[in-house]
Structures are given as C-alpha cells and as structure tokens.
Structure 1
Amino acid sequence: MEQELSLEGRIARLSEMVGPSGHEEAVRQEIRRQVAPFVDQVVEDPMGNLYAVRRPRGAGSGLKVMLAAHMDEVGIIVTHVDDEGFVRFAPVGGLSASVLVGQQVAFANGTVGVIGVEPLDDPKDLKVERLFVDIGATSRQDALQRVQIGDMAVYRRGASVVGRRMVGKALDDRVGCAVVVEALARLGDSSPHEVYGVFTVQEEVGARGARPAAYRVAPDVGIAVDVTASADTPKARPLPMALGKGAAIKVKDSSVISHPGLRRLLVQRARQRGIPFQMEVLDRGGTDAGPIHTSREGIPSAVVSIPTRYLHTPGEVIDLDDARAAVDLLVAVLQDEIRL
C-alpha cells in the first residue's frame, strides 16, 4: 500500500524519473499516485502544475496555505544532429560543461547516450558548445530514428543511500516534492487549514509555474519547499548551511526576503517541537517563493529548505534527517493556528 512507502522511498523513486523543465509528465503521474490517498482532491492546470487539496478538519478558523515544490530538473535539449549521428545540445536550466563531460543521459523514450567533448587545446575552451551526445548512432538518419530536434534528456543515475545520506540526481527538487507528500500524509485530521500541496513546473528555467499556481490558489500564506546550497565541503564559500543540522529556514535569497512573521513562526514551532533547524542566507539563486510572494496583492511567503551538496550534478547529496526535519516542521506549522 502507498501509505507504507517511506520518505526515503518516495525521494528515491522520484529522483530516478525523467522530468526536465516542461516535460514533467512522468513525475506528475507518480506524485499524483503517491499523494491521492491523503487529500480530498487532485487537479492539474493547463501549464501542468499539480494541486493536491486537503480541506480543513475540526473546529477553528484556518487559513489557505500553499506548499510549493517543483517537479522539474535540469537537462539538455537537442539542437542539431550531424551527418555522423552525433547530437548537439543546449542546456535547460543551470548546467556546467565541466560536470557534463562523460555523463550518461536518458531521454523520455528510453534512448541513452553519453556526453563527449571535442579535442581542446586549452581546458579553458571547455564550453557546452564543444560538447555532444553519442547515442550510438552511425549516421544522421540513424540518430533521427531515436531522437528528434527539441527532445530533452536528463542525467541517467540511480539514487543510493550512504549511511544517513542519499546520493542521486534531481534531488533538486524531488526531495521537496517527497517532503510535501509526506507532510500531507502525516496531517491526518489534525489541521484546521485548507492546504494546497502544489507541485510546480519549469522552476529551473525561471520559476514559471509558480506564478499562475499562486494566482489560481490565492493563498493566505505560501511556503516553498526546495533545496539550498550546503557550504560544508572543503574550502566552500562561507555560508551557514550544512548537511545534518536540520531543516533550513530561509532568511533571503536572490528572489525573496522571507516574510518576517512567517519566518518567526517557523523558528518558534521548530523550537517548541524540538525540531532541528538552521537559518539559511543564500547570496544567489531563488525558489518558487519568488513569484509566489509577488502574486496578486502580495502573499506572505517563506521557504523551508533541505541543504544539498553538488547542486545540478548527477551526484547531489542530502542528509535524510534534514528531510525528515522539514516534514516535521511543516506538520508542526499546519497542525496549529497560524498568526503572523
């Protein structure tokens, strides 16, 4: 039964799926399957955002709360196929040429390839334009039987548990999706709020799905659930986030300054429940909270983050205890009255 799927299992299953920006179909179908037993309604909008709606339970006046986690992952898009069958591509989302070399990639139709690089006179010449995908084709005609211009691919990599940590691709932001599903599963009949678990599209190319989603829901409060950079590796930039220190409560990033009242509430609930947490100050990047907080007349918004190493690589690393703390924190906020 789906209720028996662990948080770890949810994350791993979602991580391994193919879902680049604008092509989240498989991920959306899996999330729908996982979340449906715990909510009153599941609907999809024209952009592909998925809404899992949980009506209020019990007495008391609650708010309309939007939890947002994005389904898409970074990837590549086919731009040209040469006469020998090698595939040229452009990035979809933030990708580094140095990370791409030698990586296996998978297309939605099952085609698998490996990323090669032209001979370089100087390592500084390593750019995406010098890379190609080898799908084992022997000619352009052969290659076009397997992939077409405009097809997208993502890293091909399984998820593995190493100690209390997980390594895999697309943990940005499949871990956030799993956390939202798990929080909705654990709420039971204990929340007075109308909760919308919103699984958004196209975050990696400009948080495009979150704005129409926030307009549709018109929430009183918005909380994005996403990853954040972890600064605990050798000679990392001096930032406060680290694996294993708990859920990260965002103060600011490039897209949002968290609503002070909502941020204080998150900290207060974490302290009251003994939930491990850390404060997040990110000097670049953003989340779905950016478009959510500027939607309509303005929506009080904040972010609960899971610190992650090696973002946008096939080997992202999270601490599973941080993901569990994020679930605990969301449940703690949603079970009681929200006052800002």
Structure 2
Amino acid sequence: MAFDFDFDLLKELTEERGVPGYEDRVRDLVREELETTTDDVRTDAMGNVVGTIEGDSDYAVAVAAHMDEIGFMVKHVTDDGFLKIDALGGWDARVLRAQRVTVHGEEDVTGVFGSVPPHTLDEEPDGDEEVGDRVVDLGRDAEEVEELVSVGDLVTMDQTTVQMGDSVTGKALDDRVCLFAMLEAAREIENPDVTIHFCATVQEEVGLRGATALGVDVDPDLAIALDVTIASDIPGVSADKHVTELGDGAAIKLKDSSVITTPKVHKRITSVAEEEEIDHQIEVLPSGGTDTAGFQNTNGAKPVGAISIPTRYLHTVTETANGDDIRATIDLLTAFLESEDGEHDYSL
C-alpha cells in the first residue's frame, strides 16, 4: 500500500527528538513547514509555534497538536557510570526493558536500558517496577561517562518509523502523527473564510501546559485539538475497552478525562464527515487528557472540539496507526476548516 500523504515528512517528524520543554528540533521542522503554508509564524516564550492564515472574517479558529514526546531527564550518574533517570511524561516501566535510547549530553550518545538476563533470576520480575528503578548503560567506563553526561541531560527512545502493512509504526506518533495531519491541512487549505491559527504546542505530556498558556495569547472563537487516542482492538482486550478501531476512520471525540467537547461542535464535525463521505467513528475516552482542555480553561467558556487518530500501543516505541485513518483525519480537518464561516451557532 502506498500512503496517500507525505510519509517522508511523517517519518522525519516522528523520528526527531523533543521531550517536554525541549522541543527545539521538532519546532524547527514545524516552523519550516508553516512558513511555506501560512501568512505569519511566531513562537511564544514557552516554545509554542503558531502559524496563521488570515481569513476574510475576524472570527478565529485555533487548531492545536502537541510537539513533545515522552522521555526522560538524567537525575544521577552512578560511580560506575550508569545513569538514573526521571520520567518526562507517563511511562510504564515494563516497556523500557532492553530498549535502546539516545542520551543528549555533550554529544548524542547511544545507550540501553539494562535488563537482567532471565537465566540469572531467582524469581519472576516484580510487576511494580518504577521508571526510577531503571538504569541506562552507555557501554563506557565511568570516567568517559562523566565527561559526556551531566545531571539534567535528556534521554529519548531510539526507534525508526516504518510502514507495516496498511499501518505506520514507530515512536512518538503521540502526537507527531496529529502534528503532521495539522501541517498537511495547512498545506491543503486555500483562502478560508475565517482566520485559522495552526498551533504546535509544548509540554502536553506533563499537564497540557503549552496549550493552557497559548490560549491566553491566541484567544480563539473556536478551538479544535488533534491527538492520538486509544485503539486497544487487539486479542485479550474486551470490545468495550477498545475505545476506537484501527481502519474505521478519524475519531470524533465526545470526551476524555480533561474535557467534554461542545455538543454542537462535535455534531458539526460529524455532519461534515457524513457530507464528505469521510470514514469516521465516535471516541469516548475514559482516561487521558488533551490540549482541548487547555483552551477551554484559559479565557473562560469556549466551544471546543477534537479529532483523534486511533493508535495502538500508546506510550511505547511501537505506536501504530492506520494509513487510511491518517488520511481521513487530514481530510476531515481540512473540510471542517474550509466550511467554517464564523456563522455557526455553537451556543448551548
């Protein structure tokens, strides 16, 4: 299957490194893209990037997707040259065993999360592992490690992004696949009726901090957030816990743990999907927050909506999304924004 979108850009975005608060490398890519597709690009003090397409109306819509990925910060270097780390974002320590990482010290160096061979274990591993229990091995002696690494240096997972059947798999699809969808929509939209702010946010993984701050400066009339959502449609998980299904289209969010989307907004997103015959499904997410809430909580009451890309194996290095779902999300976002004229009544 050949994907109907710019896979090379998606690969570049997902393979780049950018943990919360240190999204610089991703920000450079985003600015480069938005400078060719929008009328004005700016960066605020937190590092959020906003590319604006000026419409004929004073009505403004903000679209947000976050740049940061979960990662780590070095908190201690042992006398033997091993690194102890602190999590930046939510990790399940079990998925870290024997994974390769990059430590961003004086230079980028490769490391691995150490793992005790099963041959030497006297009992089964403790299921209550903590990220702080893991150590990173750089394969160097302590003296060399001390020259290369300091407390406060960043650590990211090392993984490539590849096509796997009809899907894409790699690290940081959360949320670079949605960041990609937003950038593609900015490329495809021409002469909108309303002003559109395409917002690449920071620090979502540590509490929606970038979007909350951004909402003060941008202050839109309507906000639409893009993020991945759970697709647990795999063996061993009951159907009621799937949330979404890979291949069933873009997910239109009704709720997550941070927000209940405005009913008139998600109904209009749904009507656009139906009119344009874009594959879509409804998302009711029991846990997990998104940038949607950042806009709703900043400058008072705002109508908000959200479109999600179903993704398996979230917060691992093998996050997996379906190519048709990615294309459907780009199409739905583009169609919604092109049909927004500022006259829709989202009041309750």
Q: Shorter-chain TM-score: which interval?
A: over 0.9
Residue 228 of structure 1 corresponds to which residue in structure 2?
A: 229
Segments of 5+ residues of structure 2 without an aligned counterpart are none
Counterpart amino acid of residue 302 in structure 1: G
Q: Does the aligned pair in 1 maintain the 2:5–2:327 contact within 8 Å?
A: no
Q: How does 1:51-62 map to 2 (within 5 A)?
A: 51-57=50-56, 61=57
**Stretches of 4+ aligned residues off by more than 3 angstroms:** 117-122
Cα distance between partner residues in 2 of 1:143 and 1:36 = 40
Q: Does the aligned pair in 2 maintain the 1:211–1:295 contact within 8 Å?
A: yes
1:248 to 226, 243, 251: 251
Cα distance between partner residues in 2 of 1:321 and 1:188 = 23
Cα distance between partner residues in 2 of 1:212 and 1:38 = 24
Residue 192 of structure 1 corresponds to which residue in structure 2?
A: 193
Cα distance between partner residues in 2 of 1:200 and 1:130 = 30
Is 1:212 the counterpart of 2:195 in the alignment?
no
TM-score (norm 2): 0.92
Q: How does 1:160-199 map to 2 (within 5 A)?
A: 160-189=162-191, 191-199=192-200
Question: Quick one: percent identity of the two aligned structures?
Answer: 37
Instruction: Identify which range, 110-119 or 254-263, moves more after superposition.
Output: 110-119
Match of 1:223, SS state, is: strand
Residue 154 of structure 1 corresponds to which residue in structure 2?
A: 156
TM-score (norm 1): 0.94
Q: CA deviation at 1:263?
A: 0.5
Residue 85 of structure 1 corresponds to which residue in structure 2?
A: 81
Cα distance between partner residues in 2 of 1:332 and 1:117 = 48
Aligned positions, number:
331
Q: CA deviation at 1:63?
A: 2.2
Match of 2:144, SS state, is: helix
Residue 259 of structure 1 corresponds to which residue in structure 2?
A: 262
Match of 1:123, SS state, is: coil
Q: How does 1:287-298 map to 2 (within 5 A)?
A: 287-298=290-301
Q: Does the aligned pair in 2 maintain the 1:86–1:137 contact within 8 Å?
A: no
Counterpart amino acid of residue 216 in structure 1: D
Cα distance between partner residues in 2 of 1:258 and 1:144 = 49
Residue 45 of structure 2 corresponds to which residue in structure 1?
A: 46
Q: CA deviation at 1:148?
A: 1.1
Q: CA deviation at 1:10?
A: 2.0
Match of 2:232, SS state, is: coil
Match of 1:111, SS state, is: strand
Is 1:32 the counterpart of 2:28 in the alignment?
no
Counterpart amino acid of residue 36 in structure 2: P
Q: Does the aligned pair in 2 maintain the 1:86–1:133 contact within 8 Å?
A: yes
Segments of 5+ residues of structure 1 without an aligned counterpart are none
Instruction: Identify which range, 148-157 or 112-121, moves more after superposition.
Output: 112-121
Match of 2:7, SS state, is: helix
1:135 to 131, 138, 144: 138
Q: Does the aligned pair in 2 maintain the 1:308–1:317 contact within 8 Å?
A: yes
Counterpart amino acid of residue 257 in structure 1: I
Residue 103 of structure 1 corresponds to which residue in structure 2?
A: 99
Is 1:313 the counterpart of 2:316 in the alignment?
yes
Is 1:274 the counterpart of 2:273 in the alignment?
no
Counterpart amino acid of residue 170 in structure 1: A
Match of 1:175, SS state, is: helix
Q: Does the aligned pair in 2 maintain the 1:68–1:197 contact within 8 Å?
A: yes
Q: Does the aligned pair in 1 maintain the 2:174–2:227 contact within 8 Å?
A: yes
Q: Does the aligned pair in 1 maintain the 2:258–2:293 contact within 8 Å?
A: yes
Is 1:17 the counterpart of 2:16 in the alignment?
yes
Q: CA deviation at 1:9?
A: 2.1
